[in-house]
Amino acid sequence: MSIIGYLIVAGIAVVLLPVLPFLLAVWLVVRIASMGPERESSTPERVERESDATDETETERQSSGA
C-alpha cells in the first residue's frame, strides 16, 4: 500500500476514534433492549394459521353436506 493509502486509513481512524464509544454505547443499549421479556418477534407469524382456517371451513362444508 502506498503512503497515500496509509495516510487515508490513519485519517479515517483518527476521525472514527472519538465516535467509537458512542457507537459502542448505542450497540449495548440495543442489545440489552432486545433481550427484554416483552420483546416482539421480528419474524412474521406463519401462514399456517390461514391454511388452518381454510381447512376448518372445508371441514364445516363437508360436515354440513354441501
pLDDT, one tens digit per residue, over 24-38 is 999 999 998 888 766
- Cβ-based burial of 26 (10 A; exposed 0-12, middle 13-18, buried ≥19): exposed
pTM comes to: 0.40
| Predicted confidence (pLDDT) per residue in 46-59, tens digit | 666 555 555 556 66
Helix (H) or strand (E) holding 63, with range, is helix 48-64
Cell of 15: 476521525
Cell of 21: 464509544
Cell of 17: 476514534
- The rounded Cα 22 to chain-centroid distance in angstroms is 21
Among all chains, which residue has been given the C-alpha cell 394459521?
A: 49
